[in-house]
Amino acid sequence: KKLDPDELSRAKKQLALFLFIKQIPDGVSQSRITNEFKNSRQPLRTLFTKKLIEKTGTSATENHDKTIHCQNDISWQLKPNEEQQNAIEKIIASSATYHAFLLNGITGSGKTEVYLQIIRHTLDSGKQALVLVPEIGLTPQFIDLIKDRFGEKIVVLHSGLSEGERLLGWLKARDGQAPVVLGTRSAIWTPMPNLGMIIIDEEHDLSYKQQDGLRYSARDLALIRGQREQIPVVLGSATPSMESMKNARDGRYQELRLLKRVNDSSLPDIQIHDVRNDKMHGAISQYLLNNIKQCLKNRQQVLLFLNRRGYAPVMMCHDCGFILQCPRCNVYMTFHKHKNMLCCHHCDHHERLPQKCPDCSSHQFFELGHGTERLEETLADLLPEIKILRIDRDSTRRKGAMQKMLKDIHAGDADILIGTQMLAKGHHFPNVTLVGIIDADRGLFSVDYRASERMAQILMQVSGRAGRGDRPGTVIVQTHHPDHPLLNELASHNYEQTTQLLLEERQQAQLPPFSYQALLRAESNKQQVAVKFLNIARTKLQALTDGKLDTYGPVSAPMEKRAGRYRFQLLIQSGSRQTMKRFLTPWVECLGNLPESRKVRWSLDVDPQDMF
């Protein structure tokens, strides 16, 4: 039974209620609906009359409280608004040839619905669709959406599956038995004989770049594959990369804008909060705590973002100031309290917290800084009756853990969500009305010229989790630098202006996307061996190009030592992509024949996304 979109599109209360119930597979108690939706009795009664929802037994969480489900045989899709329909029609019109589209839509604007509609057209044409997402954690919600819309027509491919599961999915895709393939970056290599569409969700995300082994950019490969197979490629994001924004302005991509949230819900109110004059409870300001309490009093959920897992990033000796470092890397080790372990997040070295300081034998260690574990502990002390859910790489290691946590969130079994960037991307939490960004200052000052772009993207993505239901949202950004121009631009939801300013800065400095870079990295157990190889490599390149490429270095990497090896690098830059390509291929062949190349571990990163 297919539900006509017009049946609810003009009844916004019914629509909001229907979508809220539908997203919770196990159903929702009637008392929770009453608490979360004002004046819900009449729209609820109407949905029963239309046989769109049903009562099935007693809720497991509420005594004598009926659980309400959507009817199992209802196939539902939203009617696209004018902006969505325009995007859908333009993409479909180019379905017989290669065309690159940048779907630039604010958070909550319905990009996913555009994806689903163009996938429907692709399947109706007898073709396959490939959908890439940056994180494994985003696959469960896409699986549910695609199964709900198209039935059991999906194959999922990512590193969290067993080898047998991945092989079975790969074979189905290769044999044309998988109409839809959903995966992370490695899925771009999947053979699909009838491929008709490629979609890259969150195209700006760094996860699409493979940084070791076989190095590649899944986003760029998707564009090349689209050209070769003469099919459209859709790049979607609320915060497009600088490269994609420039490509759209230069006419290489067709930009499709989605400027309104679905159901006309308003954008959240972003407040820049100066913590310098506020009382702090660990990492939480009194102002944020007051807002958290009010939100919980209203039976709404809170999301707190801190992009640092573990308990504390630094353990210091109180008596002499000694800081515990990784013996294999030039970084401090992070303390994980629940394991009582010090862990290096770069080489995975871990060891027990020593009983005394290696430098002065003192027993007085103390923690500096905050990670998600410590934030969880602070909140548990401040609000002992509240259900807290922490979502980071540590808490989601087990298979199925992420799916269970998302299910608990939608079922209302968590009051406060604490998460890293895993929680910032693409998730739809309609009952989250308050988002707290615990530490906005980390991304404001960095040696990496891309840091401001990354900061803007993550702030806008996290802010977009607030107010996606029928209630307005609030975002509180904690900072010691409330007058920073980047924060003030983002508080106005003006990502477009932010990108314009960043592009102007890049153009003045002739940095990408107004130039092209490659980074030659060399690692060795001995510093001088890596430096010697890079000096020879620079000399060979200069002789080959006669000065047509600029070289900088060799210099040590910002993290000079990693996993026991010293790291140095040589930066190559050119104003012309073709010039860069013409010389890199013979240069790489030359490097492979050098005797010095066998004494180092080296790699060439074209279009590097970081210098670390």
CB atoms within 10 A of CB 553: 17
- Angstrom distance (rounded) from CA 604 to CA 612: 14
Rounded CA separation 127/476 (Å): 45
Verdict on whether the full-model pTM lies above 0.75: yes
Q: 459 and 492 in contact (C-beta within 8 Å)?
A: no
- Specify the pLDDT at position 226: 98
Considering 487, 507, 527, which residue would you say is the last residue of a domain?
A: 507
Whole-number Å distance between alpha carbons of 35 and 41 = 11
Decide which of 455, 479, 507 is a domain's last residue.
507
Residue 430 has a pLDDT of 77
Three-state secondary-structure class, residue 38 = coil
Q: How many domains does the chain have?
A: 4
Q: Are residues 499 and 538 in the same domain?
A: no
**Separation between Cα atoms, residue 208 and residue 527, nearest integer Å:** 31
Q: What type of residue sits at position 361? A: S
375 and 242 in one domain?
A: no
| Alpha-carbon distances, residue 109 vs 332, 374, 450, 464 (angstroms) | 41, 34, 26, 10
The predicted structure's pLDDT at residue 1:
46
> Which two tokens mark 36?
């979360």
604: enclosing H helix or E strand: strand 601-606
How far, in Å, CA of 134 to CA of 206, rounded? 8
State whether 250 and 174 are in the same domain.
yes
Collect all residues with Cβ–Cβ distance below 8 Å to 76 and sequence separation of at least 6.
2, 3, 5, 18, 22, 70, 148
CB 562 within 8 A of CB 347: yes
Could you tell me if residue 348 is inside a domain? no
Do the beta carbons of residue 602 and residue 520 sit within 8 Å? yes
Same domain, 66 and 127: no
pLDDT at 315: 93
Residues 450, 479, 239: CA angle, nearest 5 degrees: 40
Residues 205 and 238 in one domain: yes
Pick from 70, 92, 120: which residue ends a domain? 70
- Kindly report the backbone phi and psi dihedral angles of residue 195, in degrees, each rounded to the nearest multiple of 5, phi listed first: -60, 130
CATH number for 414: 3.40.50.300
Looking at the structure, tell me whether residues 25 and 163 fall in a common domain. no
Q: What is the CATH number of the domain that holds 12?
A: 1.10.10.10
Q: 557 and 462, same structural domain?
A: no
The Cα–Cα gap between 69 and 15 comes to 14
As averages over each run of 10 residues, the pLDDT of the chain (612 residues) reads 53 70 65 66 76 60 52 57 93 95 91 92 95 80 77 82 90 94 94 97 93 90 97 96 96 94 79 95 96 93 92 92 92 91 92 91 91 95 94 83 81 89 75 91 82 89 75 90 89 88 94 96 95 96 89 92 94 94 93 93 92 74
Q: C-alpha distances in angstroms, 297 versus 16, 305, 414, 546? A: 22, 21, 14, 70
d(CA 242, CA 253): 13
Q: Is residue 318 part of a domain?
A: no
Q: Which two tokens stand for residue 580?
A: 């860069």
Report the pLDDT value the prediction gives residue 44, as an integer from 0 to 100. Answer: 77
- The two structure tokens encoding residue 216: 């590649």
- The reply to whether 77 falls in a domain is no
Contact predicate 596/365, CB 8 Å: no
The residue ranges of DSSP E strands in 80-219, in sequence order, are 99-105, 128-132, 154-157, 180-183, 195-201, 209-210, 216-217
State the residue for tokens 């019914």: 14
CATH number at residue 590: 3.30.70.360
Residues 142 and 155 in one domain: yes
Q: Are residues 221 and 105 in the same domain?
A: yes
Could you tell me whether strands 66-70 and 53-58 are parallel, antiparallel, or unpaired per DSSP bridges? antiparallel
Query: Which pLDDT does position 27 carry in this prediction?
Result: 67
Please report whether residue 350 resides in a domain. no
Nearest CA to 52 out of 7, 94, 6, 12 is that of 7
Q: Are residues 173 and 102 in the same domain?
A: yes
Same domain, 276 and 143: no
Helix (H, G, I), strand (E, B) or coil at 373: helix
User: Which structural domain, as residue segments, surrounds residue 567?
Assistant: 516-606
CB 368 within 8 A of CB 316: yes
Quick one: 91 and 160 in the same domain? yes
Q: What is the pLDDT of residue 57?
A: 56
